[in-house]
Chains A and B, each alone.
Chain A
Amino acid sequence: AQSVAQPEDQVNVAEGNPLTVKCTYSVSGNPYLFWYVQYPNRGLQFLLKYITGDNLVKGSYGFEAEFNKSQTSFHLKKPSALVSDSALYFCAVRDMNTGGFKTIFGAGTRLFVKA
Chain B
Amino acid sequence: GAGVSQSPSNKVTEKGKDVELRCDPISGHTALYWYRQSLGQGLEFLIYFQGNSAPDKSGLPSDRFSAERTGGSVSTLTIQRTQQEDSAVYLCASSRTGEVHQPQHFGDGTRLSIL
* B-binding residues in A (CB < 8 A): 32, 34, 36, 41-46, 49, 51, 88, 90, 94, 96, 98, 100-108, 110
CB contacts (< 8 Å) of B33 on chain A: these are: 103
Given A101-B31, A102-B48: A44 and B100 within 8 A (CB)? no
Q: How far is the CB of A22 from chain B (nearest CB, A)?
A: 15
Q: How far is the CB of A100 from chain B (nearest CB, A)?
A: 4
* A-binding residues in B (CB < 8 A): 4, 31, 33, 40-43, 45, 48, 50, 56, 58-59, 91, 93, 98-101, 103-109
CB contacts (< 8 Å) of A43 on chain B: these are: 4, 91, 93, 106-109
One of A34, A41, A103, A107 near B108 (C-beta < 8 A): A41
Given A43-B109, A100-B100: A106 and B42 within 8 A (CB)? yes
Q: How far is the CB of B75 from chain A (nearest CB, A)?
A: 15
